[in-house]
Each structure stands twice: as structure tokens, then as C-alpha cells.
Amino acid sequence: MKGKSILSLIELDPKEVQKILDLAIILKKEAKRGTFRDLLKGKVLAMIFQKPSTRTRVSFDVAMLQLGGHAINLGSSELQLYRGETIEDTARTLSRYVDAVVARVYGHEDVVRLAKASSVPVINGLSDCYHPTQILADLQTLLEVKGRLKGLKVAWIGDGNNVCNTWLIGASLMGINISVATPKDYRPMKEAITNAQRLAKATAARLEIIDDPIKAVKGADCVITDAIVSMGFDQEREKRLGVFIPRYQVNGEIMGRAKSDAIFMHCLPAKRGEEVTDDVIDGSRSVVWDEAENRLHSQKALLCYLLLDEEFISELL
């Protein structure tokens, strides 16, 4: 898998995801002891951000720093890209300097073009369609809390957005049953559903896309939501709030319908009082801060997986 780009998670097979999660858990434990400080010594990551970011940007930067490498943050207006240089020419140039690129873009096509023209791995740091590094952290969190992934049930309540699309793929890769409840006009992308259905055949994961949040959370081990208004959709704000609230808001009543030991996850940033209420996100079943922390560990693992020899990785596991 050395050298490949990660745009939606579909590039990984279940064994590869499992290895990344195992490595993430080892790196998390070892970080406290200060081991692996030179794992990515001399490696450089370029970070292109077309949109704001707290977790993705900081966790990638810190991941490189803690493993002995370096990250260069390239915000909008700092590259010739924003004066009209093509994505392809930017990719060819960066490939001559750095070992990997992470890019957060508006249109998914931009990160696809970047990856196609790049000779180093490109990691999608969120596009309008997918958010793969978030789902690696979510899977790590679920694994840590529940001790397994296969056969669990996850309920997604809310917008069928980039994070939801990637959850469909992640769940089907790892044999997790997923029930997605969204309003009719806010379903996940067809491409994500089709790919998830194909992957689910190998793992027996059950996928359902429905209207009813109460039905979706029944028997769920984990309830997940995300912003009703994602970045780039601000002009739809009033309309969306009217469609989603109150039915698709994760509140105490919805959590009460899931399993008694169900956890709550959210990729953050949260709009408290919109997709989730304070009592849920701040409640004892919420694991959102561990989930945010795991961005750091799972991205360290992903970077190692993409940049180091497979044999070397196997010795670490």
C-alpha cells in the first residue's frame, strides 16, 4: 500500500484498515513514553487548506512533529494555485519537494486531480464528498470502547454528508451494520451507497438508509451525527434547519432509544442546539474528545503506513 492516495477509504481493504487501527493504538500508547520520535525523520508533509480546520490541520502538523518529520501549512492565498496555476502543475511541483500532501477542498474533483498528477500520496483532508481521516479516528474510537468492530450497529442521524458517505464505506469494510436516517432530500451520495453495498457483500455488514431516526437508533451501539450545515452550504442554512430540527436532532430522547451502553460520536465542530443537544454531547455517553484525540494517533498510523516499508510496519505491530 506504500505510496497510494487516500481519497475516500475505498482505497484500503479491511486488513489494511485493521493494521492502521492496530498501529494507531500502539502509537497512542507509546506517545506517552516518547518512543517513535524518529519514525518519520526527514519526511515532509504539505498541507493545503481551502477551508477552515482545527482538528485536521493541527493533528496532522503535530503528528509529523511528534514522529520527527515536518509539516508545511499552505492556506489559501499562499500558493500560486490561487492565482491560477493549475492543480496538476501544483501537484507536480510539490511532488518534487515533499513526501505526502494532505488537501482539504470544496469540490472532491480537486483532490482527485491533485492525486492523479502527484507522484507522492495525497490524503483527502475533507472534501464535499468524503472525509476518510475522520472515519479512521472514529473506527479507532469505536474499537477502543467496544473492543471489536464486526457486528456492531452504528446509527447515523442527520445530513447524508461527506462524513456519512465515508462512514458507509468504513462500516461496510469493517463489517459494522449501519443505519442512516436522513430526510429524503438529504440522502448520502449514490456512489458511496453503491460502493458500500459492494464492500458489504464480503463482510456481511447490513446497510440501511431510512427516514426514521427512532428506527435507526434501535439496537445501536453508537449514535453519530454531524453539522446540519456543512462548510460550503451556508446559503441553505435556514432551509436546512427547518427540515432537520427537531426530528433529526440527537437529544436525550433519541439516545434513550439506543442500547443502554451506546456511545455518542461527532466529528466536530458541533453546533450545539442544532444537530445535538448539550446534554448529549456533554453527557457520560459522549466520546467526542477521545474521538478528536484519535485524529492524531490514526493519522500518525496512516502516514507511517503510506510512507514506510510494509516490513518495517509489520515489525511494529
Burial 119-144 (b: 16+ CB within 10 A, else e): ebbbbbbbbbbbbbbbbbbbbbbbbb
Choose one: 34-42, 47-55, 169-177, 197-205; the region binding ligand CP (CB under 6 A): 47-55
Instruction: Quote the least distance from Cβ 256 to ligand CP, whole Å.
Output: 26
What is the strand order of the sheet 70-75 is part of?
70-75, 44-49, 100-104, 122-124
Q: In 97-228, at which residue ranges do the beta strands (DSSP E only) sit?
A: 100-104, 122-124, 153-157, 177-181, 207-210, 222-225
Shortest CA distance to 27 belongs to which of 88, 68, 56, 57?
68
* Interaction of residue 231 with ligand NVA, rule CB under 6 A: yes
Give the three-class secondary structure for 287.
coil
Partner that binds at residue 54, options ligand CP, ligand NVA, none, CB closer than 5 to 8 Å by kind: ligand CP
Note if 187 is an active site residue.
Answer: no
Note if 131 is an active site residue.
Answer: yes
Q: Which of 129, 222, 267, 304 does the annotation list as catalytic?
A: 267
Shortest CA distance to 257 belongs to which of 300, 290, 212, 293?
212
Partner that binds at residue 227, options ligand NVA, ligand CP, none, CB closer than 5 to 8 Å by kind: ligand NVA
Q: Which of 108, 110, 113, 134 does the annotation list as catalytic?
A: 134
Residues 6+ apart with CB under 8 A from 293: none
Cis preceding-peptide flag for 246 (omega within 30 of 0): yes
The packing angle between helices 162-174 and 190-203, to 10°, is 10
Sites for ligand CP among residues 121-140 (CB under 6 A): 126, 134
* Interaction of residue 162 with ligand NVA, rule CB under 6 A: yes
* Interaction of residue 180 with ligand NVA, rule CB under 6 A: no
Among 227, 250, 258, 301, binds ligand NVA (CB under 6 A): 227
Partner that binds at residue 263, options ligand NVA, ligand CP, none, CB closer than 5 to 8 Å by kind: none
Note if 37 is an active site residue.
Answer: no
Instruction: Quote the least distance from Cβ 293 to ligand CP, whole Å.
Output: 12
Q: How many alpha carbons fall within 13 Å on the CB side of residue 154?
A: 30
Sites for ligand NVA among residues 88-127 (CB under 6 A): 126
Sites for ligand CP among residues 258-277 (CB under 6 A): 267-269
- Interface residues with ligand NVA (CB under 6 A) are 126, 161-163, 226-227, 230-231, 267
Positions marked catalytic: 104, 131, 134, 226, 267, 295
